[in-house]
Amino acid sequence: MIETNRFEDVLQINMGREKDGQVLYRVSAYLVDGLLIDTGCAHTAFELVDFLKDFDVNLAVNTHYHEDHVGANRLLQERFGINIFAHKDSVPLINQVPELYPYQELVWGYPEPSEVGCIPESIETNHFHFDVIDTPGHSLGHVALVEPRKGWCFTGDLFVAERPKVIRPEENVQQIIESMESLLDLPTKDLVLFTSVRKVVEDGRKAIRACIDYLRDISRQAKELEKKGHSIKDIVKILVGGDNLFPELTNGQFSSENMIRSALKLDDA
């Protein structure tokens, strides 16, 4: 399944595997001035390449190495002969077959290994300039792309919601906050967030500040509860109402417990 939306000169491409008439999960890529930002998952790779044949695609960037952001890399290279870039820490991970959990194989599929180059500090297209910002936290080797004149910020999976409830065990709340703060410090008049979850947030600074405040508050409350002798499971139940079905559906990979454990390590500020 592919659906599109347009924001100014940016084309949002939403993709997801359909099963029994239902889209399992939608992930967004973006096409702007010949630059493709992320390539979706393996299950939609052929659909994406077929869709893009009517566009002028000159270059692609992976915001990080996860399977729902690199799935069409190999096919895009074969069909269009384009270069693809990623953070140096993501490059070796994109060029190998990942180890996936059953839910990941079902929803996104195994991406074919692809040879990508180390992303430069900035990228020029015919009409736009994009600064490459290191934004670790969601994963190793994560970047955001920012067009300073327009205020566009392509966040990958760094920002998905103002009040996130679940994260993976390898995610780091401390780094997530620091990466978000680096975006707030950018000298752009506006900051429009183009997320991987179909949302375009026009007041990006307000949304990022809200997320940072929320995570810091969760950390503060969790630490207070821990001092009173509450277990991690108790803290999760008190602060976010307990874990829902995500841990069961994702082999424990997405859970509120992961978020609380990481938030408890957050530096006091």
What residue spans define the domains of the chain?
Answer: 2-203
pLDDT of 268 strictly over 90: no
- Per-residue pLDDT, 246: 79
pLDDT of 59 strictly over 60: yes
The confidence band for 247, taking pLDDT boundaries of 50, 70 and 90, is confident
Average pLDDT over residues 134-162: 97
- How far apart are alpha carbons 244 and 255 in whole angstroms? 8
User: 2-203: which CATH topology?
Assistant: Metallo-beta-lactamase; Chain A (3.60.15)
- Per-residue pLDDT, 111: 96
- Per-residue pLDDT, 249: 86
pLDDT of 138 strictly over 90: yes
pLDDT of 82 strictly over 80: yes
pLDDT of 20 strictly over 90: no
Full-model pTM? 0.96
Q: Which residues pair with 145 in a beta bridge?
A: 132, 154
pLDDT of 244 strictly over 80: no
pLDDT tens-digit readout, 169-224: 999 999 999 999 999 999 999 999 999 999 999 999 999 999 999 999 999 999 99
The confidence band for 252, taking pLDDT boundaries of 50, 70 and 90, is confident
Contact by Cβ (8 Å): 39, 85: no
- How far apart are alpha carbons 140 and 178 in whole angstroms? 14
pLDDT of 242 strictly over 90: no
What percentage of the chain has pLDDT greater than the value 70?
100
**Torsion over CA: 50, 51, 57, 60 (sign):** negative
3-state SS assignment for residue 179: helix
b/e for 136-160, b at 16 or more Cβ within 10 A?
bbbbebbbbbbbbebbbbbbbbbbb
- How far apart are alpha carbons 145 and 123 in whole angstroms? 9
Contact by Cβ (8 Å): 189, 151: yes
* Closest C-alpha to 86, from 112, 110, 60, 111: 60
- Per-residue pLDDT, 269: 55
